[in-house]
Amino acid sequence: MTTQHILTLNAGSSSIKFALFEHDAGPRETMRGQIEGLGSAAPHLQARLRGASLRDEPLDARRATDHETALAVVIDVLQSAVGRTTVDAIGHRIVHGGLVFTQPIVIADDVPARLETLNPLAPLHQPHNLAGLRAAHRAFPDALQVACFDTAFHRTHPWVSDTYALPRRLYDEGVRRYGFHGLSYEYVVSRLKEIAPREEKGRVVVMHLGNGASMCAIRDGRSIGSSMGFTALDGLPMGTRCGQLDPGVVLYLLQEKGMTAEAVTDLLYNHSGLKGLSGLSQDMRELEQAGTAEARQAIHYFVDRIRREIGAMAAVLSGLDAVVFCGGIGEHAWQVRESVCEGFDWLGIALDKSRNRAGETVISSDDSRVRIFVISTDEEMMIAQHAAELLDERR
């Protein structure tokens, strides 16, 4: 079988993550990297080739003004490292698929315009995902373009986990709980199937904790409930997003404080969460090192909301067999994991502190009824696998 190549793109507001995979019997990662600081005075490129550092350097600001110019840099990096490799497929992370897009698809001509109508539901992500998609189509017109949706994994929700107590016509129009980080949860489930098949078939709560943070209740590998809802604002506090909020607060800000809808959007998406609570940073590493009362309070609030959600999801699942930490904070902040698990013996969660601090994959104690895992999530691999399946169908 001829080796093909799959490029994955995850375009954010000020960054673009990329990975290159060889594909014959299945995708194998060759290169991975990211460009951060798009549109800023100091963009930065990092890239690794087969696990070894390839590039780690600042970029001329003119080379990373937007996703199209950044993609040109990505192409240069690919060509300098692996030659003029033909890219057979490009897999894109698209945050919101709405009601229609419930599985990975080959992108037809009308798809970008249809996805654009969902921009208001994911304003921090969707426009940039689509900008990366269009730039990739111009750069690689002959490649199979594949869209993979973060909301798709959650379309198995029961009705009660999908709806709000609003007039039914709004639900029918699409005002419902969608859930996000689906590609991450899908990958974690696939890893659990390999390392803990008994737990994968059971009742699992997965915590994707990073600059964006959410939790998912999973039974038999299927999403039953998610902390995120109609948009990526709901649920846990995040780096700069508020998480769960009484909707009356929004009405108050609009009516009593005279804020515009645009100003409220900016507040809730960009100036809240850990950054807003601490007055310092959205970076958990900085908050742990800062030692200020505000930083400690921000971390405590973050942990408290996670603990509340574990209790709620255990109720939804009628018990727990496993919990999983993933995402940047979940994978690296052992103090957060320790605080989250503390005092949950009544639910069967018992942490082994030495395993936790060593960053082992299984961090529960031997007598814990609920197994606790730390799994490095890999959305790029999940996207590559979906792109490979569609590429194989075409071939």
Which residues are known catalytic residues?
A: 150
From residue 152, alpha-carbon distances to 6, 98, 155, 170, 339 in Å are 21, 9, 6, 20, 31
Contact 225, 217 (CB under 8 A): yes
What is the residue type of 266? D
Residue of 160, 22, 24 whose CA lies nearest to 78:
22
Residues linked to residue 145 through DSSP beta bridges, in sequence order: 90
Query: What angle is formed at CA 32 by the lines to CA 30 and CA 36, rounded to 5 degrees?
Result: 165
Q: What is the DSSP letter of 156?
A: G
Tell me how far the alpha carbon of residue 112 is from its chain's centroid: 21
Contact 194, 361 (CB under 8 A): no
Alpha-carbon distance 250 to 252, whole Å? 5
Contact 43, 64 (CB under 8 A): yes
Alpha-carbon distance 105 to 62, whole Å? 34
Residue of 98, 292, 99, 330 whose CA lies nearest to 211:
330
Alpha-carbon distance 177 to 77, whole Å? 39
